[in-house]
Structure 1
C-alpha cells in the first residue's frame, strides 16, 4: 500500500507531540524523584523531632534544635506543595500532548476541519510545561534556602559551644 503524501504529513504531525511527551516524561521522572527525597526528609525530620521532644537524644541546645526541626518541616511542606503542583501541571501537559497527537489524526480523517483543536491543545500543553518549570524553580529556591539554613544552624551551634567553652574557662580562672 503506497503512502500518500497527506498520510505521511499526518503521521509526521502526530509524531511532533511525541518530542514534547518525551521532554515532559523526563521532567515527570525527575520531579517524582525530587518528591521522594522530600518525603524521605520529612520522615527523617519527624523522627528527629519526636526523638528530641521525648528526650531520646542526649544533645545540647535542645530548644534550638526543636525550633530548627519545626522550621525545616514548614519549609518541606512548602517544597512538597510546589512539587505536587509541578507534577499536576506536568501530567496535564502530557495529557494535552497525547490529545494533540490523537486530534491531529481525527482532523485528518475529517478532511482538515477543526485544525484549531490540536493546535490549541499543543499550545496549552506547552503553557502547562512552562508553569511546571516555574514551580520547579520556586521549589529549587526553597531547597537552596533550606541548605543555607542547615549550614547556618550548625555554625550557630558551633559558636554557642565555643562561647560556652570560653565562659567555662573564664569561670575556672576566676576561681583560681
Structure 2
C-alpha cells in the first residue's frame, strides 16, 4: 500500500500546486493593493464632491459630470476586483485540495488518481478567469486616468481663457 511513498511521485506532484498557490498569493496581494487604491480614489472624489456642494470649487456643472463619471468607473473597477479576488481565493483552495488529493490517492486509492488532476485543472481555470478580470479592470483604470488627464486639460484651458 505505501510503496508509492518511496519514489518522488508525491513530492513532484505536490510541488506544482504549491508553486501555483504562491502565484495566486502574489496576485491576491497585488489585487488587494489595487482595491485599496480604488478606496483611496473614491475618498478623494467624495471630498471633491463635498467641496463642490459647499461651493468651494469653480466649474460646478463640469466637475459634477466629471465626478459622476469617475465614481462610476471606480464602482465598476471595484466589482471586477472583488470578482477576481473570489476567483483567486477559489483557485488557491483548489490547488491546495489538489495537492492533498494527490497525496491521498497515491497513498490509499491509486485508481482515483484522476481526481487531483481535475481539481488542479479547475484551479487553473479559476486562475485564468481571475487574470482575465484583472486585465479587463486595468482597462477601466486606463479610462479613469485618461478622463482625469482630459479634465485637467479642460481646467487648464478654462483658466487660461479667464486670464486673457
Question: What TM-score comes out, normalization by structure 2 length?
Answer: 0.92
Counterpart in the other structure of 2:129? 131
Shift of 1:114: 1.1
Name the counterpart of 1:43: 43
What is residue 67 of structure 2 aligned with on the other side?
A: 69
Task: For 1:128 and 1:71, locate their aligned partners in 2 and report how far apart those are by CA, in whole Å.
Answer: 31
Counterparts in 2 of 1:55-134, with a 5 A limit? 55=55, 57=56, 59-134=57-132
Question: 1:46 deviation in Å?
Answer: 1.1
Unaligned runs of 5+ residues in structure 1 are: 167-176
Question: How far apart are 1:156 and its partner, in Å?
Answer: 1.2
Structure 2: unaligned runs, 5 residues or longer: none
Contact (CA 8 Å) 2:94, 2:120: kept in 1 or not?
Answer: yes
Deviation digits for residues 47-73 of structure 1, max 9, x if unmatched? 211221122x2x321111122111111
What is the root-mean-square deviation of aligned Cα atoms in Å?
1.6
Q: Deviations over 1:3-61 (max 9, x none)?
A: 96645311221122101011111000000001111011111111211221122x2x321
Structure with bigger gyration radius:
1
Q: Which residue of 2 aligns with 1:21?
A: 21
| Partner Cα separation in structure 1 for residue 4 and residue 108 of structure 2 | 16
Query: Structure 1 length normalisation: TM-score?
Result: 0.86
Alignment check: 8 A CA contact 2:24 2:92 kept: yes
Q: Helix, strand or coil for the counterpart of 2:111?
A: coil
The 4+ residue runs of structure 1 with deviation greater than 2 A are 3-8, 160-166
Measured in 1, the distance between the counterparts of 2:149 and 2:9 equals 57
Q: Which residue of 2 aligns with 1:152?
A: 150
Measure, in 2, the Cα distance between the counterparts of 1:82 and 1:100.
27
Q: Distance in 1 between matches of 2:141 and 2:60?
A: 24
> How many pairs align?
162
Contact 2:5 2:107 in 1 (8 A): no
